[in-house]
Amino acid sequence: MSNILLTRIDNRLIHGQVGVTWVNHLGANLIVVVNDEVADDEVQQNLMDMVVPDVIGTRYFTLQKTIDVIHMASENQLIFMVCRTPQDVLKLVEGGVPIKKVNIGNMHFSEGKQQVTSTVSLDESDKEAFRKLHKLGVQLEIRRVPDEKADDILKFL
């Protein structure tokens, strides 16, 4: 059984907050980025790897590969999973990935989205994905950094 410490939704995937602050807070030794585009883009992977300390491993998997292989993770792998969208997290959970808690860090504003906090903007598709995740028993919180008080996403749905 995989040891997923936390799953984070962050448009930027790996950056300073993820690669250093969250990893240290969680005690993770592996960051798994789950994104179909980045899984095949070595340039983006190399840029993200520059932010992560050498002692932390990184993997870049597609959604399907994650569903297929996450259960083979070693007990020693303390996993911090990062996705871009709530829809991706929902696909993972529906595919059998044992995600218990989701941290919503950054979901940037774009046309058709409503800004609900300084770093999170949602459209109806996002809200529906969060409602489904909640019904599946996944704990959801909005929090940029570990020392910040968590905010409940459910009040915005």
What's the pLDDT score for residue 17? 85
Q: At 87, which helix (H) or strand (E)? A: helix 86-94
**CA atoms of 135 and 71, how far apart (whole Å):** 23
Question: Model confidence over 72-95: pLDDT tens digits?
Answer: 999 999 999 999 999 999 999 999
Predicted model pTM: 0.95
Q: What is the CATH number of the domain that holds 75?
A: 3.40.35.10
Number of domains in the chain: 1
φ/ψ of residue 129, rounded to 5: -60, -45
Residue 1 has pLDDT above 80, yes or no: no
SS3 33: strand
Of 4-8, 13-17, 98-102, 118-122, least confident by mean pLDDT is 13-17
Q: Whole domain around residue 134: which residue ranges?
A: 3-156
CA nearest 77: which of 140, 34, 37, 29? 29
Tell me which of 15, 25, 71, 134 is the catalytic residue.
15
Our answer to whether residue 15 is catalytic in this structure is: yes
